[in-house]
Structures are given as C-alpha cells and as structure tokens.
Structure 1
C-alpha cells in the first residue's frame, strides 16, 4: 500500500515542481529578450558531430591545493580575524549601499559625484559582478534583491554597437556562473545561457578565432573577423567561463569554441620570438604568433598564463595540454622575466618583469633583454605559480609564488600612500637565487602561513585610507604622496567589490569557505566549482 501511495503521488509532485519552476521563472526572468542569439544562423558553423566535448569522468589525480589547516581553524575561528573580516564586510556594504541608492542597475557608481555610469553595455556590471560576493559574505537579503534585476537583463538592450568580449565574459558571465554554483538559483543559469549564446557569436569567423570586440551588426551579417594584432590575453582567457557553461548545460559548443583557441596556443608555443611564451600581441586572424618581440606576465598577456593551471583544475586534469603549456612557459619565465630587485636590506622577494627579444638582423635572435618593471596586473603571478606548483607537484613553483607575493606586498608598503602603482621601474640584482591581493589570499590558503593574513590586513587598511570617499571608494591619481592627498578619480570599477574586497574577506575567513580544492577562481575572482573527487 505504501509503495502504491508513493507511486500515485509522484506525478502530482512532478507537476507541482514544474508549476513552482514556472512561477520562479516568471518572477525573475523576462521571456521577451530583444534578440535570441541561440537562433541566429552562423556563417561559419561547426557541425555538432565535429565539436570537441568537455572531458567526462571523475577527476584524475592532482595535487592537493589547500593547506591542511588544523581543526581549530574551522570550529573556533580567531576573534581578531573575525573582527577583520567584519571590517571588510562593512567596507563592502558601505560601497554596496551607495551603489544601491545612487546607481542601482547601472554598471558603476561614480563615487565622488554619486551618479550611475554606463561602462560595460549598461548591464548592471557592478551588480552582476558582486553576486557571489554577496553570497560569500552572507548578505542573503541583498542577494535576493538583485534577482529581479538580473532576470530583467536584456543583452540586446544596449546603446553600444559592440562589446569587449573578454570583459563581458569575465565580469558578467563569470559572475552569473559563480553565483549559480553557490546558490543554485535557476535564473542565473538561464541568463548565463542567454549571454553565452551571444558571446558564442564572437567565434563565428572563418577560422573560429574570436575578435577583441563583438560587433553586433557584423555578427548578424557574418562579416566579423579575428584581429591581426590583438592582446594575447583577450581571446585566450575565455576558457574557464565557457567551459563551466558547457559543464552545467551539457551543451558542448561553448567548450568547443574555446578549445580551438587552446589548440592555436599549443601549435604556436614554440614558434614565437621567445619559444615557450606567447607575445603581448598575436595575429589571431592568420593564426601567427611570430611578429611581436615583447613578452610579459603583465598587461595584455596576463590571464593567458593564469588560465593554464586553472583550466587543468576545472577539467580535473583530463587535458594534459594545459599542464604541458604551463610548465614550458614558466621555465621561460623563470629564465628571462623573474628578477630580484636591488634593495637596501636585501629582502628575498621577486618580481616578474618584461622581456624584449633584440635581433641582430631579421630572423636571427641576438639576445633577450630584461625590462625590470613591476606591474600591479602582474601580481596574480604568485598565486599562479603556487597553484601550478600544488597541482603539478612542482615544489619550486610554490616557493617562487611566495616570493612574488611578498614582492607585491613589499611594493604596497614602499609607497607613501601604502598602495602599489600600476607600473614602476626597479634595478635588478644579477641573480634571483638569493633569498596582489589574489596571490596573498591564495598563498595563505596554500601554505597556511599567518604572515599572509598580516600582509592582507596592512594592504586593506592602506587601500581604505587611500581610496575612501564620503560614500564609497574611488580610483586614485597618485600613490607617491600621503594617503590623504592621493587625488580621487570619479570611478569605482566593479572589480573593487567583486575582487579586491572579496579576497580580503576570504583571507580572514575560515578556510572551508570556498576551498581551493573545490573551486577555481576566474581572473575576476569568481569561484567556479571544480569536479568532485
């Protein structure tokens, strides 16, 4: 009788779930999107039978990333750390409340004039970028209040004729997918699919390489082409987000699109002016990487390298190409880009500079010149080396990662405002053998060393002192003067809350909050769920 009763109720339960799902969708989701990109016929389509699918099956054996913290770190968190975490949360809420009052639904808050700004298509970049931060910080009511806004987003409703593919992917798509991984809210995945279908159109070119800008008119006419001198990081840093979208939907087209870019990287790695690395600009239209002589882990190329070990983690180690490309590239970085700055106290820190290949005559390599320049954008490198070292069992890379992270923390302390500039020059020592925010967080979680929490606290206080306005935080003009006189610019990009404050919050949180063995962060600090072991 009991079994029959359960069988009789099952159809009703199913109908009930369908009705609830429909109600939720109507509450949060617009069905009148301005343009359905999934129905647009591509000019250069890939047959489904020819698509590469994401690897299946349980993850292969990879090294543990997160340090084995003592049980006390989970069940009895330190009161001082809790106080610091609350200070970061308060800073976040101060910015969020100002955004909510003065710029709700806009891409950004102008923190001096207190107005909304449209900078990324008009699709509420700060709101979407901050979704997972709201969840991580336990701000559930604030998160729930965003869902109707997210559901009403119409990717066809923009005053822009084109969008930056890279920025839209890491901020909007990454933000939606991460928040879905953390909450399971269906509307987030539905909007991510809509956006993914639009971004997929960027790959509708003769060689399936995406351009830097997705021009809507050209995409609809089938006339867009990849760039002949695009930043190398832009088309090569879409892989985490599009792969996760394929994993969640079962649709292979997103993964196939970015996997073709990976194959281009693998083919060209040894064909560049500095074999093993890719230059700051590449010819994606003709699939060449030979022309440029400039190489860096900083601006224009940064996340290309960052995503190599991260993709290996997201794919559970099933694609060996990412490990091969990472280890080969980092060998070259270690030989030609890493340097120890000449400091009065001989601090054992590292920076990653730039390399320029000088030619005696065309086609004949003369030598590789180190440009000892520090870049704020290059501060991710410590975390990248640490992650690669942990995943692939390269202990030396963890040590290099620590020295790079300490270098960026040193740079914060070295300037009068307590904040590191975007770019600055140094004098290198002859050898590196003697003794960002993201890197500081990651290396704390990888090593368990409390010194990284102390670094993070000093950095947080310095950032607050140098960038606080009456209502939020702003970009600043000058870091070489005292914090009170840095000069406030009327700009607070979405990454300040989505990335900077999120990493500060996590570094003072119990280590099981977003474990590095369960998640991998995209370049905008959005955690994406890794395959379960």
Structure 2
C-alpha cells in the first residue's frame, strides 16, 4: 500500500492513513495472545507513547495449511538457565583521553551510517537495496524492504530513535503475503527478515515487530513442510499458501539447512509456540546422528542430501561459503538456550576439533607473524585429507567464533586460536594497497604452526606453480602483473562487497580480551573501507582491492548487511562494552542481537 515515500505528500498521506488505522484498532482491540514483560515494556516506552499498528497484509500465514504435520512436537528446554561462564572481559573505567578518542571514532561510524541511511530513505525507501552509484532502489530479497528491516536494530543501537520509529511505521505496512520473486531463499529470508524483526523487538518491544516476525516465521515454517520435515532451500511462496507440501532437496548446502536455528529458537521463546523449536530441533537431531558418518568424522561437509538425510557423500569441507553459519550457530544456540541443551556444545567441540587439526594453517609471511588462516579441505577419510590454503573474507568470522566458544566452554586454546585467526584477517587487510583484504586469496602454509621462517625461494616457487604456464618461470612478472603482496600466492577474487566478517571477529576479540590493539585495527579497517567505498550517496562494493586509484573501480551495489552488520560492528567496537554485551545477547549471522534468557 505504501510502496514509496518519495515526497512529502506521499509521506503525509501514509502518516494520516496509519493514524486512522491506529484509531480503528483502538476501538476494535482484542486480547493479544502474545505476552509482554511489563518491566521491559516500560523500559522500551522510554517516556513516549505506546504506538499501535494494525496488520494490513493480503494474506495471513497463520492460516496456511500444512500437509506434513508432525504427530508431536519437541519442546523447548525448560528450567532456570545455567550460570554460564562470562564471555566479556572485565573492563575497567577508561581514562578521559581514551573516551574522547573512542567517542570521536564512534561518531564517525554513526555519521557513515546516517549518510547511507538517508540516501536509502530518499531514493530507495521500501525497496530491498540502494544502488549507491546510480542512487536508486532495487529488489533482491523478495521486495520486502530488506535494508529497512535489516537495519532496524542498528538504528536503535545507534540511538537514532526518530528514524527507528519511522522505520517501524513503515514495517507495519510491509505485505508478506505477496512477493516480487517467484521463490525466496529460506536462509536469507530467515537471517535478514526474521532475524531483523526479532532483534528489533528484543531491543524495543514494539509489538508490531513481533507480529510481523510471526508472519515471516509462519511463512518460513512452510519450508519444513516435507515428509521428513527437512527444510527446502528455496520456498515457492504461492505454492506454500496452498499447503500442498514440498519434497526435501537431494542436494542442499549445510548452511542452508542448519543455519535457521537461532531465529526459530528465539521465535519459540518469544511466542511460546513449540512448533518453531521443533522445526529446527529435527535438523539438529540429524546433525547429531550424522556427525561421525561424514568423510571427515566430526566435521560437516558443504553439501548434503536432505531427502535421504545423508551427509556421507561430499568430500569438500570449509568454514567459508555455503557452510559458515551452521558452525557459528552451535555455541550461540547453546547460549540462547541457557545451556540447557548440551547437544550444541557437542556439535561445536567435535567439529572444531577437526577444524583445528585439518583446516587452520599458519601462512608463511616475511615478518614471521604468528597468525592463522582458515582454509578448505578435501577428505576421503580422516586419514586421507588435503588442505587447500584458500582464505576467504567470509571465513574471517571464525576468529570471533573460536573466541566466543572458548570463553563459553572455558577452553583457553580456542580463545588463543581465535586471536590468531582475527590477527590473520587484520594482516591480510593491511597487506593489500587499499588496506582491504580480497574476497578469495591463497597463501603458502607453513610446515608447522610453531615456527615458520620466511623462505623467499619457496614462496616464489609456489607463485610460479599457481600461475604457470601464463608467466612461465618469470616470477617477477607474475607478482607484478597479478599484483600479489609478498606472502600471497594467488588472488582468486579481488572484490570487496562491504563484508562484515573481519570487523566482526575484531569486535568479538576486543570484547573478550579487552586489548586496545583491536580497536586500533578496527579504526584502520574503517578508514580504509570508507576511503575506497564512498560514493556521492553512500558506499559501494569495489571490484579490485589490489589497485589504488583516486577513483576506485566500484560496483553499483550496497547489500543490506552494510547497515545491518558491517557498520554495526564498527560502531560497537567503539562503544562502551555494556552496549549489546555478549553476556546479555547473542548475535545471529546477520549481526542481529537476540536477548539471552536469565
């Protein structure tokens, strides 16, 4: 109904209609089955008036039939949450010069967010994304205003309450009953839309956000409507309305099936509806049963057969694309459930044992820095593995995962691994001329993690191996033409698409160790990213981080995670440590904080 707020007249019209609908709602108010915590309700009202909205969606997903209804539902663990170990460092009061410097940096990040947000609001309002060069909108994730929903909690966290209230009013008009796409990604819709709505509700307690989260959750619940209750990768929205059911995919990524846990668990906690927990608990049960049946027992491969519930056929393993968030969710879901479901601890510890043994490598670099990179593995068995020393920007989240898991499960070795992985990403940022790491690159693994002297000839031979026969044996020409920093043996993808994973780990390592060096690294990363990505309107992906130009080659794209994740993590690393404390919240893979139970 309100698809575009491009001018004052349209905005005034929208506000008038919303006001009239609110008045009608007050006259026809019915008992609400969703309960509130009165203390947090008073907190979120913040001396303001409790706004009322009514849902004008064209379809109520709660009424969509389900073909494959479970005979019984797994119940969410009950009881008082365990007293879990402290995750955050015990910070002391900062001195005034430190606070002044931190405040200035935090303000710079906030300004970058406001600039991009204002451009989105002016030129792409209610569209999924802003095109930051042409300054217009586009739809990429169902046409439900992905950037708006994804950025809700960032608005709240940054104290932009007027903008937040306006965004909530706009969210109330989103019609999740229809879409601009034939099919939607279940994974992306879960982490961006469902996660964004739940998080914004957890922070503000605006009731309409939970109502919308229920609608999105009900729609996504239909993805589990298969005979074996395994979710499908892409949901046909119109077919889902008919309730005829689907067939589980015979080929689906492990992330696509296993990264829905946090969102559905939190929705079950907020609504008291066991079916949401049951949906993901069945996937967790499968992972638990199958963990030692894979070609690298303990670790999960990239691809699986959900139809046959088979994880034994794929020999490719990674913490990068198509797999990443399933591992991240193990310790986070454990915390979200208050430690009352131990299977997530088992899944984390067993898989990370294999990652530590087979996947992490120390790269050979001239300064002999003691850093780690997460690579890929081909495995036919635990005794027949081959490391592919490919680093991905995506895998930079792993440092934060190890640090958080190490603190949560009191494993100092994992905290140390997390620090070395985070510093590995910091190193690869600094190594490129733009100060930003590439999307995908290769380095030369050391024979040992304990000692790794620099060997120039060995590095040169590896460069020739990766580039032959294009440059024959001319290593100097290969290094120059391929623009390889010393220590890098190839760059497979030179883009930077405004990704958050490196700053995510830097943020977690700062909050878990208290070491100021991570704040300094964060500032270097922020300034480098802003220098390369800034456009006349917002920030754009760049095509080549290995080239310094006055006007870098930019792509007309600004994914919603720039506002939802990247700038949020930059902001939080320069915030007081009690803002979104890791002892009070767990953040999903789209950086949406969910409140931990007490």
Say if 2:62 and 2:218, in contact at 8 Å, map to a contact too: yes
Q: 1:374 aligns with which of 378, 388, 391?
A: 391
Report the CA distance shift for 1:434/1:135 in structure 2 as closer, same or farther (over 3 A).
Answer: farther
Report the CA distance shift for 1:277/1:21 in structure 2 as closer, same or farther (over 3 A).
Answer: farther
Question: Secondary structure at 2:542's aligned position in 1?
Answer: coil
**Aligned counterparts of 1:483 and 1:460: Cα–Cα separation in 2:** 18
Q: CA deviation at 1:36?
A: 1.8
Say if 2:115 and 2:538, in contact at 8 Å, map to a contact too: yes
Question: Secondary structure at 2:379's aligned position in 1?
Answer: strand
Say if 1:29 and 1:148, in contact at 8 Å, map to a contact too: no
Q: CA deviation at 1:118?
A: 0.5
**Aligned counterparts of 2:399 and 2:382: Cα–Cα separation in 1:** 30
Q: Does 1:268 align with 2:290?
A: yes
Q: Which residue of 1 is the match for residue 377 of structure 2?
A: 355
**Aligned counterparts of 1:491 and 1:59: Cα–Cα separation in 2:** 43
Q: Which residue of 2 is the match for residue 121 of structure 1?
A: 142
Q: Which residue of 1 is the match for residue 483 of structure 2?
A: none
Q: Which residue of 1 is the match for residue 64 of structure 2?
A: 40
Q: Does 1:229 align with 2:229?
A: no
Report the CA distance shift for 1:20/1:63 in structure 2 as closer, same or farther (over 3 A).
Answer: farther
Alpha-carbon deviations, 1:283-318, whole Å to 9, x = none? 111100011100001111000100000000100111
Question: Secondary structure at 1:78's aligned position in 2?
Answer: helix
Say if 2:65 and 2:243, in contact at 8 Å, map to a contact too: no
Say if 2:296 and 2:382, in contact at 8 Å, map to a contact too: no
**Aligned counterparts of 2:350 and 2:416: Cα–Cα separation in 1:** 18
**Aligned counterparts of 2:60 and 2:550: Cα–Cα separation in 1:** 50
**Aligned counterparts of 2:293 and 2:270: Cα–Cα separation in 1:** 35
**Aligned counterparts of 2:168 and 2:315: Cα–Cα separation in 1:** 47
Q: Does 1:476 align with 2:542?
A: yes
Q: Which residue of 2 is the match for residue 9 of structure 1?
A: none
Q: Which residue of 2 is the match for residue 458 of structure 1?
A: 524
Q: Does 1:102 align with 2:126?
A: no
Q: CA deviation at 1:28?
A: 2.8
Report the CA distance shift for 1:26/1:85 in structure 2 as closer, same or farther (over 3 A).
Answer: closer
Q: Does 1:239 align with 2:261?
A: yes
Q: 2:340 aligns with which of 295, 318, 323?
A: 318
**Aligned counterparts of 2:152 and 2:129: Cα–Cα separation in 1:** 14
Q: Does 1:29 align with 2:54?
A: yes
Say if 1:417 and 1:483, in contact at 8 Å, map to a contact too: no
Moved more, 220-229 or 286-295: 220-229
TM-score after normalising by structure 1: 0.92
Q: Which residue of 2 is the match for residue 420 of structure 1?
A: 437
Question: Secondary structure at 2:580's aligned position in 1?
Answer: coil
Q: CA deviation at 1:20?
A: 9.2
Alpha-carbon deviations, 1:176-227, whole Å to 9, x = none? 1111111011110010011111110100001000010011244325241221
State how 1:81-100 maps to structure 2 within 5 Å. 81-100=102-121
Q: CA deviation at 1:234?
A: 1.1
Say if 1:111 and 1:474, in contact at 8 Å, map to a contact too: yes
State how 1:256-405 maps to structure 2 within 5 Å. 256-358=278-380, 367-405=384-422
Say how many residue pairs are matched: 507
**Aligned counterparts of 1:182 and 1:385: Cα–Cα separation in 2:** 26
Question: Secondary structure at 1:214's aligned position in 2?
Answer: strand
